[in-house]
Structure 1
Amino acid sequence: MIPPVYSPADERYSDGNMSYRRCGRSGILLPEISLGLWHNFGAGDPLSRSREILRYAFDHGITHFDLANNYGPPYGSAEQTFGEIFRTDFRPYRDEMFISTKAGYDMWPGPYGNWGSRKYLMASLDQSLRRMNLDYVDIFYIHRFDPETPIEETLQALVDIVRSGKALYAGISRWPLEATKLAFEYLDRRDTHCLLFQDRLNMLDRSSVYSGILEETQQAGVGFIAFSPLAQGLLTNRYLHGVPSDSRAAQGRFLKADTITPEIIRRTRELNDIAESRRQSLAQMAISWVLADKRVTSVIAGCSSINQLADTICAIKHTDFTQEELALIDNAIG
């Protein structure tokens, strides 16, 4: 069935629809909510639903779409889904979109389909561009730190990718602090300033704060984009009373049932009470909490429906917390 011709909403950039933050020391503004395609956009997910979600996102001012080579399942299928919808719906609006992809985790068999070699990174990006029907991505990330490959090889591949025009900006995801400092310096010396550092940040996992990464990005003029703001669903009302049989945890997909302990349930119930007092859902408060830190450029949110995405977008309107609320959240976390 051929989808109806897409024409985006005229009011997609109207005041109050979406807010944007400057990305470090750059000319780029990103929406406070970015759409992540890690889950729910693979080959087994209905293309019609994916199209509906992507259209809704763009209609509501979400310009940034975050992918990686191995998102799916199977690997590559999220990029294929995005590429098909880009071809039919978004091609006329390419210059309004900020599209990212990454490489660093396993993608194809053999010694050249993983980690941080120049061969793998460049081959992976070429494959990603073909899958997404793109001439370039706006930002290409090293998805993880490779302790075996010389750091200069990995970073020079990033520099050369940007110089080739296949990516406009370079990004780093989930690197340790000292390697990150070296990377920022290396890239700056070659006029390829790191645009974004991507890492996990949520109320339950603040390692990017405690490790000094968030502070380092600010000092270096690098944007910070947070993923997993809902802690794989823990920071929703899904697990307030245990593990539902149809939940992600019950299926063992990334979130494991044995991690949802009575102590975790107690904490999330307390957090849910705080959210209700703010007239928010727990999920909305979790996203608002991340955005309350002005060092954060954007939050990557996944979703499986338009309703879920609509609820997520509402979180940008309530990012102010009283000191009492922040203290209550910290006490609930323990």
Structure 2
Amino acid sequence: MDIVELLVSEEHQNERIDKYLSSYNEEWSRTQVQLWIKEGAVKVNEQTVKTNYKCQLHDKIVIEIPEPEPLDVVAEEMDLDIYYEDQDVLVVNKPKGMVVHPAPGHMSGTLVNGLMAHCQDLSGINGVLRPGIVHRIDKDTSGLLMVAKNDMAHESLVEQLVNKTVTRRYKAIVHGSIPHDHGTINAPIGRDKMDRQSMTVTNESSKEAVTHFHVLERFENYTFVECQLETGRTHQIRVHMKYIGYPLVGDPKYGPKKTLSINGQALHAGILGFEHPRTKEYLEFEAPLPEQFEDVLNQLRNNR
């Protein structure tokens, strides 16, 4: 059983507890949260509550997440945007708003559901909920992912990630005008002790995290940047850009409440390159910015 402890901040006071918790973790559906509340697995200040309870400032919420039942992932036909595929690997352009893999309470509509309908041969190293998944990007981050179709390919791609030889370049729009053209953020990332579902720069129980960035375009109060990952920690770009004072536009977890309308962080995994596990040929792919991302950029350009 996993235990999650939260402390309600001013931002979430007077918000329904089921809405707050389902927005807190993208892998928790509102239906699943409501079930936990009804079963008494959620307590506020050591008391059970109803699903419509309004959170109060400094409420201590404790969630006892039960061990999941064995789950079957169902294949679902989807119109996947596949950039490359052979017997070993597949490269797919994930749309914004799609979760990469299933989780308890969120078993359909994920990229894995679509991949299982598209091909039967996915590596099993990550188990039944994450077949073929070598790395992931957040639900509201769009862009390229590499998928392993067998265990040999999976092991090779993971080794490349560990050795930092995979090319991963992201486009992002951040708050503030960054004065310097280039930069490197070398700051370890770990779980936030006050908010276990968030990451933060910390020296406690953390891992090395390095992000390189350069400015593509400046606006009065925003900057369009490209970020290159040297490591791949959870929420790395989002945490690092916040850490240096330039949080991502639209980021509901790490950004300001007043932001541009883009429904989630303005972050796109646009370039992905790696050595093919079998042929050893270097492959690189580029996916254009999504339409909504381009619309925000054009809005900023027109407002100059």
TM-score, normalised relative to structure 2: 0.25
TM-score, normalised relative to structure 1: 0.24
Higher normalized helix content (fraction of residues):
1
Higher normalized strand content (fraction of residues):
2
Higher relative contact order (Cα pairs below 8 Å, separated by 6+ residues) = 1
